[in-house]
Amino acid sequence: MMNILKTTFCDSQSPEYDMVKTHNKAYEERQYSSSIWVSVDTIVDPIISPDSATTKSDENEPCCKLFGYINGQNEGNHRIGMTFPVIEEFVIENGPKGESKKILSFFVRKEFEEKTPLPIDPDIKINQRPSMTVYTMKFGGFANDEKCVKEKEKLMAMLEADGIQVKRDVFYCAIYNTPFKLFNRTNEIWLVKETTDHESKEDHFVKSATLDVAREQ
């Protein structure tokens, strides 16, 4: 298993973006192009809780599903190859118990964009994600949920001080390193620029429509 993972992480690709502006070297504004991602979502109850009953096995399950998909557990048994960053998206649902959705996503390499292999596992979704403008801030270490929330709050405070409006019902944690890298790790918080046309959550980064539905249209 270790050798498979190490091979998978070689020659990785990343989603394309244009740098719009760097703000006092503290955070960046980027415009990301439309892209294809494979995703698995779970319920976080609540969105962050130090005494949560979630086990390490539960946390690793979505990642294992996506690793299986890119390593051949798909229609056609294609080996797709790893990409970076790995994205954790937190969508605040405000359910009866404060439930929120967390979505783990891998970017699909360019050579598989037009004909993305369909997943065998029904929990894996293929999403066509539109372009978006995000504000990003880097941070180090391993990006657990609690740390992601704290770093998000730091970025949110800077944006508010600068008079910048962002969406408050969703944020992203982007992870750029393999699990084997123990030091000098790179992560980012992404906050989506607020739009003026009151678009819904489904109209920004993670669209709910799957690729096979789009093909039927």
pLDDT tens string 63-83: 999 999 999 999 999 999 999
Q: What is the pLDDT of residue 45?
A: 55
| DSSP symbol at 110 | G
- Structure tokens belonging to residue 11: 């020659």
Give the per-residue pLDDT at 113: 92
Q: Dihedrals φ, ψ of 118, to 5°?
A: -75, 140
Contacts of 51 (CB under 8 A, 6+ apart): none
pLDDT on residue 129: 85
Domain boundaries in the chain?
17-216
- C-alpha to C-alpha distance for 182 and 177, rounded to whole angstroms: 9
Burial class from Cβ neighbours inside 10 Å (0-12, 13-18, 19+) for residue 53 reads exposed
Among the residues of 89-177, which ranges form H helices?
A: 145-161
Among residues 94, 66, 61, the alpha carbon closest in space to that of 170 is found at 94
| pLDDT tens series, the chain, 217 aa | 334 344 344 456 899 999 999 998 999 999 999 999 999 987 665 555 444 444 444 668 999 999 999 999 999 999 999 999 999 999 987 655 556 789 999 999 999 999 999 999 999 999 988 899 999 999 999 999 999 999 999 999 999 999 999 999 999 999 999 888 999 999 999 999 997 654 444 444 444 444 544 344 3
Helix (H) or strand (E) holding 99: none
How far is the C-alpha of 141 from the C-alpha of 77, rounded, in Å? 34
For domain 17-216, give the CATH superfamily.
Regulatory factor, effector binding domain (3.20.80.10)
